[in-house]
Amino acid sequence: MDFLQLFDPTIFPVLAADGLTNGAVYALLALATVLVFAVTRVIFIPLGEFVVFGTLTLASLQLGKVPGTLSLLLVLLGAAALMEALTWVRRGQAGRGLLTLGGAALLGAALWALAGWAVPLKPPLWGQVILTLLLVAPLGPLIYRTVYQPLQNATVLVLLIASVALHLVLTGLALVFFGPEGSRTPPFAAGNVTLGQVTLSWQSLLVILVSALLMLGLYFFFDRTMPGKALRATAVNRLGARLVGISPSSAGTLTFTLAAVIAGLGGMLIGPSVAMTYDSGFLIGLKGFIGAIIGGLVSYPLAAVGAVLVGLIESFASFSLSAWKEVIVFTLILPVLLWRSLTTRHIPEDEE
C-alpha cells in the first residue's frame, strides 16, 4: 500500500477522526491509570477488561439476556462482605460483622431482583447504559477490597503481578460469560455531520464530547471537592493523608470506583466502533497505559495527550500497515522509556 496515500485529502481526515475518537477513549483510560497508580500504587492492567465488560454487558442487555457480570458481582460482593465481617470479628465487634453480611445479602438480592426484572423488558438505550454501569462500576471497589486491600503494604511489583493475575481471571471469565464471538453495539447516534471538508459521524463527535465532559468533571472533582482533594492528598503523601483521617482503604475504594466507571463508560462509547471480543481488553488498556507512561505515571495532561497520540498513530498505522499496527504502537513505548530514562535523574535511596 502506498504510504503517501495517507495524506490524500479524502483519507487523511477520516483517519484523523478515527484516531481522535479512539484516542479520546484511550485518554480516559490513561487518566484512570494515572489516578489508580498515584493513589494506590497499583499498576491497574485489568482496566482494559472493565472496558470489555462495559461493551459486552451492554450488548447482552440489548439481546435481553442477563449478563454473567451479575454473577461475578454477586460472588465478589459475598467475598468482600465475608472479608469485611472477618475484620470486624477480629476487632471483637462480631455484631458489626453480622450487620455487614446482612447488608451485603440484601444489596445482592436487590441487584439480582432488579436485573431479573428489568433485563427481559429491554429498556431504552439510556436505561441499558445505567443498568450496565450499575453492574460494572461496583466491580471496581469490590475487586479493590478482595484483591488489593489485603496487599496494601506490598511493593509495586507484587501489586503488578497481582494485576496481571487479575487480568487473566477477568479475561477467562469474559470468555465464560460472553463466549468467544465478538459483539458490536449499535451507535448511540446515527448519521454524519460535515464540518467544512471534514465529515464526522455523530457517534465520533459524541465520543469526543462525552470524553471531554468527563475529563472536565474529573478536573472539577479533584480541584473543588473534599473527596477529590482527599484523593490527591493520598497520592501526594500517604502518611500525611492518614494523619488527617483519610484511610488508604477508603481512598482506594473511591479510586477504583472512579476507574471502573470511567472504563465502563469508555467501553460503551467505543463499543460501536470496535468489534469487541472477550480478550480485546488487554490491548485497549495497554494503549491507555502507554499514554500514562508518556505522562510518567504522574502527569494527567501529559497522559491524556500521549493517549490521543497513541490513537492517532494506531489509526494511521492500521491504514498503511494494518498487520504491524500493534508492533508499531507497542514499540513506541521503547523510545518513550529511553527518553524517560535519560531525563529522569537517578535518585539515591533516602537516608536520613
Partner 1 sequence: MSRAGSPSARRTGLPLRALLTGAAVVVALALPLVLPLFQVTLLVNVLIFAVVVTGLVLLTGIVGLTSFGQAAFMGVGAYTTAVLTTQAGWSTWLTLLAGFGVTALIAWLLGLMTLRMQGHYLPLATIAWGISLYYVFGNTPALGGFTGLTDIPPVHFFGLSLTSPRTFAYLALVCLGVVALGAQFLLSSRVGRAMRALRGGPLVAEAFGVNTFRLRVQVFVLAALMASLAGWLYAHSQRFVNPTPFSLQAGIEYLFMAVVGGSQHVWGGVLGAGLITLLREWLRDLLPALIGAQGNFEVIVFGVLVILTLQFARRGLWPLIERVLPREEVRLLPEHSRLPERGKPQPGTPLLEVAHALKTFGGLRAVNDVSFELRAGEILGLIGPNGAGKSTLFNLITGVNPATGGRVTFAGQDITRASAGQIHRLGVARTFQHVHLLPDLTLLANTMMGGYARGRAGMVASLLHLERREEAALQHEALRQLERVGLGEQAFTLAGNLALGQQRILEVARALVADPTLLLLDEPAAGLRYGEKMELVALLKRLRDEGVTILLVEHDMDLVMNLVDRLVVMNYGEKLAEGTPAEIRANAAVREAYLGVDMAEGAA
Partner 2 sequence: MTAVSGAQPAAPLLLEVRNLHTRYGRVEALDGVSVQVPAGHIVSVIGANGAGKTTLMNSIMGVLPSSGEIFYQGQSLRGVPLEARVARGISLVPERRDLFASMTVADNLQLGAYSRRRENWRADLDDVYARFPRLLERRTQLAGTLSGGEQQMLAIGRALMGKPRLLLLDEPSLGLAPLIVRDILRIVQGLRGGGVTVLLVEQNARASLAISDEAYVLETGQVSLHGPAAELARNEALGASYLGG
Which residue ranges make up the site for partner 1 (CB under 8 A)? 43, 147, 150-151, 154-158, 160-162, 164-169, 171-173, 175-176, 179-180, 283, 286, 289-290, 293, 323-324, 326-327, 330-331, 333-334, 337-338, 340-341, 344, 346, 348-349, 351-352
Comparison of 14 and 326: residue with beta carbon closer to partner 1 = 326
Residue 159 vs residues 95, 182, 295: alpha-carbon distances, Å: 32, 30, 20
CB atoms inside a 10 Å sphere around CB 208:
20
Q: Which does 237 bind (CB under 5 to 8 A by kind): partner 2, partner 1, none?
A: partner 2
* Binding partner selected for residue 226 from partner 2, partner 1, none, CB under the kind-specific 5 to 8 Å limit: partner 2
5 binds, among partner 2, partner 1, none (CB under 5 to 8 A by kind): none
For the chain, the distance separating the N- and C-terminal CA atoms, rounded to the nearest angstrom, is 61
Nearer to partner 2 by C-beta: 96 or 205? 96
Give min distance, CB of 310 to partner 1, in A: 12
Amino acid at 223: D
Strand partners, 195: 198
Q: Are 48 and 282 in contact (CB under 8 A)?
A: yes
What is the rounded distance in angstroms from the CA atom of residue 170 to the CA atom of residue 351? 41
Count how many Cα atoms sit within 13 Å of the Cα of residue 309 in the half-sphere of its side chain: 18
Q: Minimum CB separation from partner 1 for residue 287, in Å? A: 11
Minimum distance between the CB of residue 261 and partner 2, rounded to whole angstroms? 22
The one-character DSSP state at 324 is: G
Q: Cell numbers of 184, please?
A: 458490536
What Cα–Cα distance (Å) separates residue 349 from each residue in 37, 90, 239, 346, 352? 21, 37, 18, 10, 10
Quick one: what does residue 255 bind among partner 1, partner 2, none, with the CB cut-off 5 to 8 Å set by partner type? none
* Residues found near partner 2 in the complex (CB under 8 A): 91-92, 226, 229-230, 232-233, 236-237, 239-247
Binding partner of residue 232 among partner 2, partner 1, none, CB under 5 to 8 Å per kind?
Answer: partner 2
Taking the least distance from each CB to partner 2, the nearer of 233 and 328 is 233
For the chain, what percentages of helix, strand and coil (3-state, to nearest 5) are there? Answer: 75, 5, 20
